[in-house]
Amino acid sequence: MKTQVCIVGAGPSGLLLSQLLHLRGIASVVLERRSRAHVMGRIRAGVLERGMVALLREAGVNARLDREALVHEGLDIAFDGRRHRIDLAALTGGAAVTVYGQTEIQRDLFEARDATGGIVIDEAEDVMPHEVDGDAPYVTYRKYGVEHRVDCDFVAGCDGYHGVCRTAIPNQVLKTFERVYPFGWMGLLADVPPVSDELIYVNSARGFALCSMRSPTRSRYYVQCPLEERVEDWSDDRFWTELIGRLPADAGARLVTGPSIEKSIAPLRSFVAEPMRHGRLFLAGDAAHIVPPTGAKGLNLAASDVHFLSRGLIAYYQTGDDRGLSEYSEKALRRVWKAVRFSWWMTRLLHHFPEDSPFDRRVQAAELEYLFTSKAAQTALAENYVGLPYE
Ligand code: APR
Ligand code: PHB
């Protein structure tokens, strides 16, 4: 098989890139290790920056989003019995965030690829990029016991943190940066009405909690938990009791509980791989970087990577101009590191770190007090949360 761009991974990065390229007449093949049902079964992020929404609109997959998504112009931060609304719209000249589950984005993108003849090969085993630092890269994989080869001009590594494409960058070239956090998030999804119209981020005496949502009838909640916790030790009742114990009293009293649809524990890490390009291989999304979910940046960074990479590829194929491809890694990483910083800062602000000293705890309380009382501090949070420009 021959194509122009071979994309490894059918997550949001891979499918969005494939759809954007298709709309500009550029052929791609997407190779996905798991089944489509498995990919669709993942419960992931839910807060979209304006840049992500614009990209989904450009990809022509915004119809359902426009009908069903919620637009949030603010969020609450709660600490020490107080609750402060960060007025995102007022502080950023009208910007807001859009609440729409990643699962729905995956559904919309799969449907669009299917409707436009996209080649998305799932359950592709042992996918492996070859000769990415030459002029004729190719990717091999096996399906139903048969070996296949995809010859291409470029390889897009959209295969996530545990993917294979990053390993195609030689060790002497690849630099990685990582911070692993000493706790995880236990998440629960339930068909109950959200406790509040907007998200509530809580730094409570018992640890972090987050009240989010997917729709007016479906809620998403998280509590910080020790890394050694096992989800099977947490009944729904235990989760609800712990969550209520961390929420401001009025929210706890209002919380509607119900049976979980999904419950899982995720570790938190910050990770960046540099460079995001090697020869004819380009990394995008989680394949190149991971952020703790506190700042809701994971999916949104995948979007800005795809924005930069799609424009570089489109310019190359339409005009022969390869500057976008040459500048891709540096441009993407500039925005990645700002989001990594913000996600680290918000995680540091809102969680209990076991190793924190009494001094650390006082500094954290002062940081929150400063945030509650300073428009400058609130503006800094707001402009990062709604999304910094794609520049
Ligand atoms: N071969 C083929 N496919 C692979 C391989 C491989 N060796 N390894 C991983 N994949 C697939 C995974 O099964 C997954 O479907 O690549 C896809 C990567 O998707 P994501 O992990 O969702 O990464 P990305 O598309 O960059 O989206 C980032 O997803 O994980 C969340 O929090 C993250 O919201 C962010 C978003
Ligand atoms: C979610 O709705 O899953 C969500 C929202 C905000 C975050 C993290 C997760 O910071």
Specify the amino acid at residue 16. Answer: L
pTM above 0.95, yes or no: yes
Residue 308 located in a structural domain: yes
For residue 132, the model assigns a pLDDT of 98
For residue 389, the model assigns a pLDDT of 95
Residue 364 located in a structural domain: no
Residue 224 located in a structural domain: no
For residue 195, the model assigns a pLDDT of 98
Q: What's the alpha-carbon Rg for the chain, to the nearest Å? A: 21
* Residue 72 falls in the annotated catalytic set: yes
Distance 236 CA to ligand 1 centre (A): 28
Q: Write out the chain's pLDDT in tens, 391 residues.
A: 999 999 999 999 999 999 999 999 999 999 999 999 999 999 899 999 999 999 999 999 999 999 999 999 999 999 998 999 999 999 999 999 999 999 999 999 999 999 999 999 999 999 999 999 999 999 999 999 999 999 999 999 999 999 999 999 999 999 999 999 999 999 999 999 999 999 999 999 999 999 999 999 999 999 999 999 999 999 999 999 999 999 999 999 999 999 999 999 999 999 999 999 999 999 999 999 999 999 999 999 999 999 999 999 999 999 999 999 999 999 999 999 999 999 999 999 999 999 999 999 999 999 999 999 999 999 999 999 999 999 8
Determine whether 174 is exposed, middle or buried from the number of CB atoms within 10 Å of its CB (0-12, 13-18, 19+).
Answer: middle
* Residue 352 falls in the annotated catalytic set: no
CATH number for the domain harbouring residue 126:
3.50.50.60
Asked if the bond preceding 275 is cis, omega within 30° of 0, the reply is: yes
Q: What does residue 65 show for φ and ψ, rounded to 5 degrees?
A: -55, -45
Q: Of the residues 31, 39, 109, 159, which should be mutated to test ligand 1's pocket, given the most ligand atoms within 8 Å of the CB?
A: 159
Residue 124 sits in which domain range?
Answer: 5-71+98-178+269-352
Assess contact for 272 and 287: CB atoms under 8 A.
Answer: no
Task: State the angle between helix axes of 323-350 and 375-386 in degrees (0 to 180), rounded to the nearest 10.
Answer: 130
Residue 230 located in a structural domain: no
Tokens of 330: 């540096």
Cβ-Cβ contacts under 8 Å for 24 (sequence gap 6 or more)? 310, 314, 317, 318
Residue 248 located in a structural domain: no
Closest ligand to the CA of 72: 2
For residue 81, the model assigns a pLDDT of 84
Using CA atoms, how far apart are residues 306 and 14, in angstroms rounded to an integer? 8
Residue 192 located in a structural domain: no
Residue 203 located in a structural domain: no
Domain count along the chain = 1
